[in-house]
Structure 1
Amino acid sequence: MPTLYHSPMSRSSGIVTLIDELGADVEIREVTIPRQDGTGGPDPANPHPEKKVPFLVDGDETVRERGAIVLYLTDKYPEAGLGPIEGEPGRGAYLSWLFYYQGVMEPVFILHWAGLSHPAITASIRDMDTMLARLNDALEKGPYLLGEQYSAADLLCSSPFQWFSDLLPDNPKIRDWVARCADRPAVKRTLERDAAVLQPG
């Protein structure tokens, strides 16, 4: 059985939500991580080489980085229909969004949050305006990134806006998309479980 190493209210929460959406038989093991408020710390029980989450172990296979874990799990559990598998229509767009999240969206959010900007960053990684324009372009064609059907790309790419709601643009298409993604029962269940774990005793 695959095992996901997870810390509540962290980047791994979206993968817990994905496992719920997939109905996948994946063991979830909670570990501690260093947090920005100074609490927590590296957990010796976490096999991630940098003690980060999420980290997926499946037999001899290990997978890190959210986009990679999303792809691995949606390919492993294709019956849930949360990501086109090889040969299916939309596979190229699906892969593009997973890699766009990892290579563009998350760095842009972090740089914006940190107040860092430089022409070299914009030229290579892009900026918030460009990233939001790409999201808007996709959502012009349907309520979700791949059109009419929700996919794990929506789960992944909408998640930063749920953490940084102040960065939501004044764009009805993007705001409505984020709200639709956040309103899914699996998202709510993960938030409830995470909050219960973190609630003092």
Structure 2
Amino acid sequence: MSDAGCDELVFYTAPMSRGRIVRWMLEEVGAPYRTEILGFGPPMKGAAYRAVNPLGKVPALRHGETAVTETAAICAYLADAFPQAGLAPPPGSRARGPYYRWLFFAAGPVEAAVTNRTLNVAVPDDPRLRGMVGYGSLPEVLDALEGAVTGIDYLAGGQFSAADVYVGSHLAWGMAFGTLEKRPAFEAYTARLLARPAAVRARAIDDRLLAEQGQG
């Protein structure tokens, strides 16, 4: 995108939210950005912020006049808006397939399966109803993800990308809070990713914000 360097990046977030994923992505991109911290409840539901995200949730990103919501979409957008950061395989390349596949696998099946498990939402045994559940079952989702991260450094053609930011964040968060089981392949993969300088910087920023809010 030719205007990537011209329009201000504004990042709407709360320090204990999915915004931590976008913060990491922004630190990987390396472009200047301004952070708007929003409190949960009324601050996120006001008319001004709903003009950015009608759902009144964080994270969200404004790039000039363009507003982007949904964490996976923000990560994908930033990778394409700032190609110089090298956070997405070139369009049309073979690596673009696994890049899209695992980025949206985490946004779809992983997110849905983990949320249902956490909320004790049981999938009925009736095969006719089970067919409506796109992810199948949580064990199937985790097995597929384990296969994806086993024996590789990164998900898309051996190069770190936005897919690793998003998938790695889900795995790290889930294992830390007990919503995903710890598996050696998951631990090895996330340990490598979380040691990246941009990931370390992002965590430090949000942890400091939490401490300032008295939540740390």
Give the TM-score, by structure 2 length: 0.81
Letter in 2 for 1:187: A
Q: Identical aligned pairs, as a percentage?
A: 31
Alignment gaps of 5+ in structure 1:
35-39
Q: 2:11 & 2:198 partners in 1: Cα distance?
A: 17
Q: Report the alpha carbon displacement of residue 16 of structure 1 after superposing the two structures with TM.
A: 0.9
Aligned equivalent of 1:193: 205
Q: Report the alpha carbon displacement of residue 188 of structure 1 after superposing the two structures with TM.
A: 2.1
Alignment of 1:153-164 (within 5 A): 153-164=163-174
Q: 1:168 & 1:108 partners in 2: Cα distance?
A: 10
Which of 9, 12, 23 aligns to 2:19? It is 12
Secondary structure (helix, strand or coil) at the match of 2:12 reads strand
Matched, 1:27 2:34: yes
Q: Does structure 2 retain, via aligned residues, the 8 Å contact 1:57–1:63?
A: yes
Q: 1:15 & 1:89 partners in 2: Cα distance?
A: 26
Matched, 1:42 2:44: yes
Q: 2:130 & 2:56 partners in 1: Cα distance?
A: 28
Q: Report the alpha carbon displacement of residue 19 of structure 1 after superposing the two structures with TM.
A: 0.6
Which of 41, 57, 61 aligns to 1:52? It is 57
Letter in 1 for 2:181: P
Q: Report the alpha carbon displacement of residue 143 of structure 1 after superposing the two structures with TM.
A: 2.2
Letter in 2 for 1:12: G
- Identify if the C-alpha distance between structure 1 residues 42 and 140 changes in structure 2 by more than 3 Å, giving closer, same or farther: closer
- Identify if the C-alpha distance between structure 1 residues 99 and 169 changes in structure 2 by more than 3 Å, giving closer, same or farther: same
Q: Deviations over 1:12-46 (max 9, x none)?
A: 11101101011123322211224xxxxx7535352
Alignment gaps of 5+ in structure 2:
1-7
Count the aligned residue pairs. Answer: 196
Across the aligned residues of Structure 1 and Structure 2, the Cα RMSD in angstroms comes to: 2.2
Aligned equivalent of 1:81: 86
Aligned equivalent of 2:161: 151
Aligned equivalent of 2:139: 129
Q: Deviations over 1:126-150 (max 9, x none)?
A: 3221111111222235122224322
